[in-house]
Chains A and B, each alone.
Chain A
Amino acid sequence: MAHLELDRVAKQFGAQTVVDDFSLAVGKGEFISFLGPSGCGKTTTLQMIAGFLDPTRGAIRLEGKDLTAIHPARRGLGIVFQSYALFPHMTAAENVAFGLEMRSVPRSERAERVRAALAMVGLAGYEQRHPRRMSGGQQQRVALARALVIKPSVLLLDEPLSNLDAKLREEMQIELRQIQRTIGTTTILVTHDQNEAMSLSDRIVVMSQGRIEQIGTPQDTYERPASAFVSQFLGKTNDFAATIDRTAMPARLVAGSWSAPAPAGLSGPVTVSIRPERIGFGDAGLGAKIVTRIFQGNHWLFQCASECGPAIVIRQNDGQAQPAEGEGVRLAWRAEDMSVRGGAAS
């Protein structure tokens, strides 16, 4: 049985449907990311799990029990808010102790657990600081300690790292993952940063306009995007219009002067989607001309004008000579690296 289960959950504000048909089963100890553009309903979904919003339809179950019937104060979930929402009039230790106080944990045990929680997030010695005298990263850690100290059954994180600068964010990502591995709390992270989602999670839920586009491991969603939206949202991608040539025997998939054996059971116009780092320069293939060539340290980025519209190619900087701007090239890739969408089943 799934630890946390969302069953066709939907949320409407007035006539506007913000989340629809959201079904997800989260295993115990799993790290899940909700990934999607701004306004796609990530926070709304998280707030429904937390209990600050009631779902319009559907059920949310924790360990098989209906969660929506339980008051948010008694759900026992740990939540880290985007703004941290620390209590500014309390010290770091008092902030962390608050949840234990509400649970009537004896004073001595409370002090010990607060100390341990702050030490775990690397804030030993900051017990008596007030939040406003702490840096963004330190506040973020206090918020994490405050959520974890109550030993929540599920940890909900709403863009906890978005207020941090790039370097600190990376450090916190590593730390977050380590802490989560150590204590094994089931975790749901909301983010619109695809790198964050990919580097942290066991599975990613890609959302768009209130609906789930794809659920899968980071590698899965990146390598085998289920929709054009997912492939565009997760990293850069090239989409080429292609056709299936049934006159050839066996049938061939054709994009400009590039072609390959057609996958079985497809006909009509389709879209071929291929990651820029999977395209190579060869002797045969899609005709293109290099428009710009950008050096990016460990790799080169080429923007090309191909027969099928603009294309981007990324090549490792492996010391080989690279084509110059204005040079004509042929783009080729392996059939297993692309995904083909659309077209009618035949």
Chain B
Amino acid sequence: MSSVAEERSIRAPWALTAPALMLFVGVLLIPLAMTVMLSFHDWGQYKGIEPVFILKNWQEIATDPYYAEMFWRTFRIAILTTLLTALLGAPEAYILNRMSGRWKSFFLLVILGPLLISVVARTLGWALLFGGNNGLANKLLMSLGVIRSPIPFMFTETGMVVALAHVMMPFMVLSVWAALQRLDPQIENAAMSLGAGPVTIIRRIIMPQIMPGVLSGAIIVFSLSASAFATPAIIGGRRLKVAATLAYDEFLNTLNWPLGAAVATLLLAALVLIVVGSNAMIERRYAEVFR
């Protein structure tokens, strides 16, 4: 009797998760495995894809400095974007948290607003403002005599970082916001009653406690920026490529699917390593705050 119940209790979770698991395997794991396999196939201009097992693509990526530069740029942009969102987003979340009721919900909406607009539309907005001589902001600044030549934005890494930071800001703010919610509402008063000034309170009491929030926000922003496609595609175009746009080009323009697959696989592997590694590090470092 009891063994039947036991058996059922073992089977039930599997049965209940089966649909989701099948979907997961079907649309994620299998295509992923196929992409990895694809990266070991051969390709030629005239012969197309040949299902053989060679390391040609991987050797090309490893030896050609073009790819190293591409990946280095990808991660440089992602790191700078992460830093920018952390520097602006953490204070933003703190200020937001201190606002009173009505203003708080209004400004929360303002910050989350960008999430409701398509990435393409938002990025095109930046292009309209700073796109060469015709960009609205550039035109205005030049006619006012503030600048002589247009601020370079399109096809620059700076432009990409700024546009990406704009897109990613809500993730950082929400992550820090969540950490702030867990703070004891009296904690600042407690520090104040012990003689701490405002700067000390932020540095010694608030910062250490919201650091896990900043870091988990940073992980989200970093991985999303490193694999972002739409923003780099619009700002950088074909001239300033990052890993994601490079893979896209190999697939759809050169039609060298195996090489594109190798680039995509490498990007994925690198991201997984970085994210899992830093997550483990953060959890160890901030064990006390997370509990």
Q: Are A74 and B195 in contact (CB under 8 A)?
A: yes
Q: Size band of the A side of the interface?
A: 20 to 34
Q: Considering the complex, which residues of chain B in the window 121-138 have a beta carbon less than 8 Å from any beta carbon of chain A? A: none
| A83-B184 CB under 8 A given contacts A88-B209, A88-B289, A89-B208 | yes
Q: Which of B191, B195, B197, B205 contacts A150, CB < 8 Å?
A: B195
A-facing residues in B264-291 (Cβ within 8 Å): 286, 288-289, 291
Q: Contact at A150–B186, with CB atoms within 8 Å?
A: no
A-B residue pairs in contact (CB < 8 Å), sample of 16: A77-B193, A81-B189, A82-B186, A85-B189, A86-B184, A88-B289, A89-B208, A89-B286, A98-B191, A98-B194, A99-B194, A103-B195, A130-B288, A130-B291, A132-B288, A146-B194
- CB neighbours (8 Å) of A300 from chain B are none
Known contacts A76-B195, A79-B189; 20 additional CB pairs below 8 A are: A50-B189, A52-B189, A75-B193, A81-B189, A83-B184, A85-B189, A87-B205, A87-B209, A88-B209, A88-B289, A89-B208, A89-B286, A89-B289, A98-B191, A99-B195, A102-B195, A102-B196, A130-B288, A130-B291, A132-B291
Q: How far is the CB of B206 from chain A (nearest CB, A)?
A: 10
Give the size range of B's interface with the partner: 20 to 34
Using Cβ atoms and an 8 Å threshold, which residues of chain A touch B209?
Answer: 87-89
Residue with the highest number of chain A CB atoms closer than 10 Å, among B185, B189, B196: B189
On chain B, the residues within 8 Å of A72 by CB distance are 189, 192-193
Query: Is chain A's interface secondary structure helix, strand, loop, or mixed overall?
Result: loop
Looking across the interface, which residue of chain A has its beta carbon closest to that of B286? Answer: A89
Contact partners of B189 in chain A: CB under 8 A: 50, 52, 72, 79, 81, 85
Chain A interface residues toward B at CB < 8 A = 50, 52, 72-79, 81-89, 98-99, 102-103, 130, 132-133, 146-147, 150
Please give the residue numbers on chain B whose beta carbons come within 8 Å of chain A beta carbons, in ascending order.
184-187, 189-197, 200, 204-205, 208-209, 286, 288-289, 291
Q: Which of B185, B186, B286: most chain A CB closer than 10 A?
A: B186
Chain B residues, Cβ within 8 Å of A133: 291
Q: What residues of A have a CB within 8 angstroms of the CB of B197 in the complex?
A: 73
